[in-house]
Amino acid sequence: MTFQDLLAYQKSFDLAMRIFELTKSFPKEETYSLTDQIRRSSRSVPATIAEAYRKRIYPKNFHSKLTDSDAENSETQVWLEFALKCNYVNQTVFNELLANSIEVGKLINYMILNPAKFGVKTDH
Protein backbone atom coordinates (compact mmCIF):
# COMPACT_ATOMS: atom_id res chain seq x y z
CA MET A 1 0.00 0.00 0.00
CA THR A 2 1.12 3.55 -0.73
CA PHE A 3 -0.16 6.81 0.65
CA GLN A 4 -1.98 7.33 -2.66
CA ASP A 5 -4.12 4.29 -1.78
CA LEU A 6 -5.44 5.94 1.38
CA LEU A 7 -9.04 7.09 1.04
CA ALA A 8 -8.30 10.18 3.15
CA TYR A 9 -5.50 11.09 0.75
CA GLN A 10 -7.61 10.52 -2.37
CA LYS A 11 -10.60 12.51 -1.11
CA SER A 12 -8.47 15.37 0.20
CA PHE A 13 -6.49 15.52 -3.05
CA ASP A 14 -9.74 15.63 -5.04
CA LEU A 15 -11.06 18.41 -2.80
CA ALA A 16 -7.86 20.42 -3.22
CA MET A 17 -8.14 20.10 -7.00
CA ARG A 18 -11.80 21.19 -6.95
CA ILE A 19 -10.83 24.20 -4.86
CA PHE A 20 -8.01 25.00 -7.28
CA GLU A 21 -10.42 24.99 -10.22
CA LEU A 22 -12.98 27.04 -8.31
CA THR A 23 -10.47 29.68 -7.24
CA LYS A 24 -9.50 30.38 -10.84
CA SER A 25 -12.65 32.49 -10.96
CA PHE A 26 -11.91 34.46 -7.78
CA PRO A 27 -11.20 38.20 -8.27
CA LYS A 28 -7.62 39.20 -9.06
CA GLU A 29 -7.42 41.26 -5.85
CA GLU A 30 -7.75 37.98 -3.92
CA THR A 31 -4.75 36.35 -5.62
CA TYR A 32 -2.35 36.90 -2.73
CA SER A 33 -4.90 36.54 0.04
CA LEU A 34 -7.97 34.30 -0.07
CA THR A 35 -7.03 32.45 -3.26
CA ASP A 36 -3.52 31.74 -2.03
CA GLN A 37 -4.63 30.82 1.49
CA ILE A 38 -7.34 28.36 0.49
CA ARG A 39 -5.12 26.72 -2.11
CA ARG A 40 -2.29 26.33 0.41
CA SER A 41 -4.42 24.92 3.21
CA SER A 42 -6.36 22.53 0.97
CA ARG A 43 -3.15 21.23 -0.65
CA SER A 44 -1.53 20.82 2.73
CA VAL A 45 -4.17 18.25 3.78
CA PRO A 46 -3.15 15.44 1.37
CA ALA A 47 0.52 16.40 1.57
CA THR A 48 0.52 16.03 5.35
CA ILE A 49 -1.43 12.76 5.16
CA ALA A 50 1.35 11.49 2.89
CA GLU A 51 3.96 12.61 5.43
CA ALA A 52 2.04 10.92 8.25
CA TYR A 53 1.90 7.67 6.34
CA ARG A 54 5.63 7.74 5.68
CA LYS A 55 6.25 8.39 9.40
CA ARG A 56 4.01 5.54 10.55
CA ILE A 57 6.97 3.71 12.08
CA TYR A 58 6.99 6.54 14.63
CA PRO A 59 3.53 6.47 16.28
CA LYS A 60 3.79 9.96 17.81
CA ASN A 61 4.89 11.47 14.50
CA PHE A 62 2.04 9.70 12.69
CA HIS A 63 -0.45 11.13 15.17
CA SER A 64 1.12 14.60 15.08
CA LYS A 65 1.14 14.81 11.28
CA LEU A 66 -2.47 13.66 11.08
CA THR A 67 -3.57 16.27 13.60
CA ASP A 68 -1.71 18.86 11.51
CA SER A 69 -3.59 17.62 8.45
CA ASP A 70 -6.89 17.86 10.31
CA ALA A 71 -6.04 21.42 11.34
CA GLU A 72 -5.31 22.38 7.72
CA ASN A 73 -8.64 20.83 6.75
CA SER A 74 -10.37 23.02 9.34
CA GLU A 75 -8.53 26.06 8.01
CA THR A 76 -9.80 25.23 4.53
CA GLN A 77 -13.35 25.27 5.92
CA VAL A 78 -12.78 28.78 7.27
CA TRP A 79 -11.56 30.02 3.87
CA LEU A 80 -14.61 28.40 2.25
CA GLU A 81 -16.80 30.39 4.64
CA PHE A 82 -15.03 33.58 3.57
CA ALA A 83 -15.54 32.65 -0.08
CA LEU A 84 -19.25 32.20 0.59
CA LYS A 85 -19.63 35.46 2.50
CA CYS A 86 -17.72 37.35 -0.20
CA ASN A 87 -20.09 35.84 -2.80
CA TYR A 88 -17.30 34.04 -4.67
CA VAL A 89 -19.20 30.75 -4.31
CA ASN A 90 -22.90 30.07 -4.02
CA GLN A 91 -24.52 28.20 -1.14
CA THR A 92 -24.84 24.96 -3.14
CA VAL A 93 -21.15 24.84 -4.03
CA PHE A 94 -20.21 25.81 -0.48
CA ASN A 95 -22.39 23.04 1.00
CA GLU A 96 -20.88 20.45 -1.32
CA LEU A 97 -17.28 21.46 -0.63
CA LEU A 98 -17.93 21.70 3.10
CA ALA A 99 -19.49 18.22 3.10
CA ASN A 100 -16.41 16.90 1.28
CA SER A 101 -14.13 18.57 3.82
CA ILE A 102 -16.13 17.16 6.74
CA GLU A 103 -15.82 13.70 5.20
CA VAL A 104 -12.05 14.16 4.89
CA GLY A 105 -11.94 15.17 8.56
CA LYS A 106 -13.78 11.98 9.54
CA LEU A 107 -11.34 9.89 7.51
CA ILE A 108 -8.36 11.59 9.14
CA ASN A 109 -9.93 11.06 12.55
CA TYR A 110 -10.42 7.38 11.72
CA MET A 111 -6.71 7.10 10.95
CA ILE A 112 -5.83 8.83 14.22
CA LEU A 113 -8.08 6.50 16.24
CA ASN A 114 -7.03 3.33 14.39
CA PRO A 115 -3.30 3.67 13.75
CA ALA A 116 -2.65 -0.09 13.70
CA LYS A 117 -4.83 -0.41 10.59
CA PHE A 118 -2.33 1.81 8.80
CA GLY A 119 0.80 -0.07 9.81
CA VAL A 120 1.59 1.86 12.98
CA LYS A 121 3.13 -0.31 15.66
CA THR A 122 1.21 0.26 18.88
CA ASP A 123 2.05 -0.95 22.36
CA HIS A 124 -1.37 -2.59 22.77
Cα–Cα distance, 17 to 23 (Å, whole number): 10
**Tally of CB atoms within 10 A around 94:** 17
Q: Name the pTM for this structure.
A: 0.95
pLDDT digit string (tens) for 41-79? 999 999 999 999 999 999 999 999 999 999 999 999 999
How far is CA 20 from each of CA 30, 74, 116, rounded to the nearest angstrom? Answer: 13, 17, 33
Q: DSSP assignment, residue 32?
A: I
Question: Is the backbone of residue 71 left (phi > 0), alpha (psi -120 to 50) or beta?
Answer: alpha
pLDDT digit string (tens) for 90-121? 999 999 999 999 999 999 999 999 999 999 98
Instruction: Tell me the CATH architecture of domain 3-116.
Output: Up-down Bundle (1.20)
Cα–Cα distance, 96 to 11 (Å, whole number): 13
Q: What is the mean pLDDT of the chain?
A: 96
